[in-house]
Amino acid sequence: MVAISAPNFSQQVKNELAHIKPTHPSCKKAELFGLIQTIGNLNINTLGPSLEIKTENAALARKVVSLFRDFGQRNSELLVEKETKLKKRNLYRVRVKAEDFNAVFPKSIHTNILDKKVPSFSEDQECCRRSYLRGLFLGSGSVQNPEKTYHLEIRISDRKFAQRLKEFLDLSMLKFGLTERRNEQLLYIKDSESVANFLTMVGAHSALLKMENIRIIKDMKNNVNRMVNCEDANIDKTITASLKQVKAIDLLEDHGILRTLPRSFQEVARVRKENFDASYTKIAEILEISKSAVSYRLKKIEKVAEKISKDSRIDSVDVE
């Protein structure tokens, strides 16, 4: 038995979008147009020219057929075949005769597929703009699992079309980058807010909710890590200072100087040695004095120890 793997995040997004059906005819046409421009091909055989849309997503194939039928084209073909690759997944081909296609898009297959003109939408056609974006993403888009990274892209084969699309996306307040990889043009966004905005625009609300939950958990983990790192840094700083102070105290004791210092200094020295890893705040609580008083007395002890060390080095040089 062949195990069926669970859909990844990108597939989940596409499955959700494939089940969204626009209600207004102009929105249906805009989404279909986006699909055609990304995965539509001109197919010429003995029966004449036709439009062919190929996809691995069964729900998307059914949606394409349904959209054409909404425009009265009931002769569209849905063909299923097996991939020749190792995974041997199903491939779905939707074919529409040229004359049927031209009845829906009067400017002909050549203009719509080969020329790759980006449509324009008026201010009151925002729903159509979003439907067109949904069609583009369904055709050649993908999005990374937000648990790993934030990255959404749309692959375009034609450079001029990709540049036109970038201008269109910029006007839609979606700041996509544009780069080339393996002879393909990639329109991409790489920050969580931009990816969330795009998912909102195309209507992937369930995927957006999942991404936001992941983002909240990631932010919480990052905050905890920052707190732990900060605490670790403070502990390291405290231990480093404590080592220096205990060394100074030991030096004063060896030279019989500590007992000549004021009692308040001797008490701070005693508590420091008894509580090696204690912070100034903790020592202050033990002695019931201020934190600044602890800092002042320990620094004085260090200065006295430094002077003794310096004098000892001078005496050593004189003897030599």
Whether 3 is in a domain gets the answer no
User: What CATH number has the domain bearing residue 60?
Assistant: 3.10.28.10
Residues 290 and 151 both lie in one domain: no
Q: Which residues contact 181 (CB under 8 A, 6 or more apart)?
A: none
CA distance 175 to 2: 42
- 26 and 51 within one domain: yes
- 173 within a domain of the structure (yes/no): yes
- Which positions ≥6 away from 230 have C-beta within 8 Å? none
pLDDT in tens, the chain (320 residues): 444 567 899 999 999 999 998 889 999 999 999 998 999 888 877 777 888 888 989 999 999 989 888 888 777 788 888 766 666 778 888 888 878 887 888 776 667 666 788 888 888 899 999 999 999 999 999 999 998 899 999 999 889 999 999 999 988 888 899 999 888 999 999 988 999 999 999 999 999 999 888 888 877 877 777 776 676 666 677 778 888 888 888 888 888 888 888 888 888 888 888 887 788 888 888 888 898 888 898 888 888 888 887 876 555 434 33
Which pair of structure tokens corresponds to residue 277? 């890893």
Q: First and final CA of the chain: distance in angstroms?
A: 89
* Helix and strand element counts for the chain (H, E): 12, 8
Q: Rounded distance, CA 155 to CA 150, Å?
A: 17
The residues, ordered by sequence, that sit 6+ positions from 100 with a Cβ below 8 Å of its Cβ are: 68, 73, 75, 76
Final residue belonging to a domain, choices 144, 175, 203: 203
Q: Is the pTM of this model over 0.85?
A: no
Dihedral of CA 250/253/259/262: which sign? Answer: negative
